[in-house]
Amino acid sequence: MAELTLTTFDWVPELPRGFVRDLRVRWALEEAGLPYRVASVPFGDRKPEHFAHQPFGQVPWLTDGDLSIFESGAILLHLGQLSAALIPPDPRGRSEATEWVFAALNSVEMASLPWALLKFTGNASDTPGWKFLDDFLKLRLKHMEAALAGREWLAGSFSVADILMSDVLRLVDRFDGLAEYSACRDYVARATARPAFVKARADQMAHFAAADGRTG
């Protein structure tokens, strides 16, 4: 198998640490037990080489031999082809995992990211704009609560869909947005108790902390 290389920033400020999206890819790689290498690009000065791999100047991206892909959803579906630990091998499980991958990124995160951004910037005040985003997220969470009440994982067994959905919900939880959604909360707790998540998170924290040492 070609060598897998995950690229992330060399350093980020304290606040996003533990939530940078390379964590999703690290987590999947750890779940699958696939060997990989981590490479860095400058956070501050994003060069043409960076945009050649990631046209939006973001991270992460993954190279697999000659192939270079970005978008955490695409990377996780790609890794899913390499390991049954990431996508159930039966057709039904595979369909379910795929639809929940898209649901996490295009239905739930679509609502949670603008919500979290306002929380993050301290603009979650009593305005109609905030209320609109808050209602949008609550609508999604209400449906997720129902979906998660009856199951341990989204597609039968644990899959990349759970990595993405729990990571999306984890950011909401960080700002106490899951207080009234116990099934969502339990689900996040279940997912983040997995050894692969614990290692992925610790590795990300250590990666950025090491850069503090180099610059400080």
Partner 1 sequence: MTIIITAFERSPDGGMGLARDTRVRWALEEVRQPYGVRLVSFRAMKEPAHLALHPFGQIPTYEEGDLALFETGSIVFHLAERHAGLLPDDADARARAITWVFAALNTVEPPILELVTAKIFEGDRPWTKERLPLVEDRVRERLKQLSARLGRADWLDGGFSAGDLMMVSVLLRLKPSGLLNEYPNLAAYLARGEARPAYKRAFDAQLAVNTGKLPGG
Residues found near partner 1 in the complex (CB under 8 A): 51, 55-58, 66-67, 69-74, 77-78, 95, 98-99, 101-103, 105-107, 109-110, 113-114, 127-129, 132, 139-140, 143-144, 146-147
Q: Which is nearer to partner 1, 118 or 188 (CB)?
A: 118
Residue 73 beta carbon to partner 1: minimum distance, rounded to whole angstroms: 4
Q: Characterize the bridge pairing of strands 4-9 and 36-41.
A: parallel
The smaller minimum CB distance to partner 1, of residues 140 and 170, is found at 140
Quick one: 103 or 200, whose CB is closer to partner 1?
Answer: 103
**Residue whose C-alpha is closest to residue 141's, from 176, 100, 102, 169:** 169
Q: 48: cis peptide before it, omega within 30°?
A: no
Judged by DSSP in three states, 28 sits in helix
The least distance separating partner 1 from the CB of residue 56, rounded to whole angstroms, comes to: 5
Q: In this structure, are residues 123 and 114 in contact, taking their beta carbons and an 8 Å threshold?
A: no
Strand partners, 4: 36, 64
DSSP class of 76: H
For residue 128, the minimal CB distance to partner 1 (Å) is 6
**Nearest alpha carbon to residue 188 among 201, 207, 206:** 201
Closest CA to 154 of 142, 144, 140: 144
Question: What does the block give as tokens for 126?
Answer: 């009593």
Which CB, 55 or 195, lies closer to partner 1? 55
Nearer to partner 1, 75 or 178 (CB): 75
Task: Report, in Å, the least distance between residue 34 CB and partner 1.
Answer: 16
CB of 70 to partner 1, least distance (A): 6
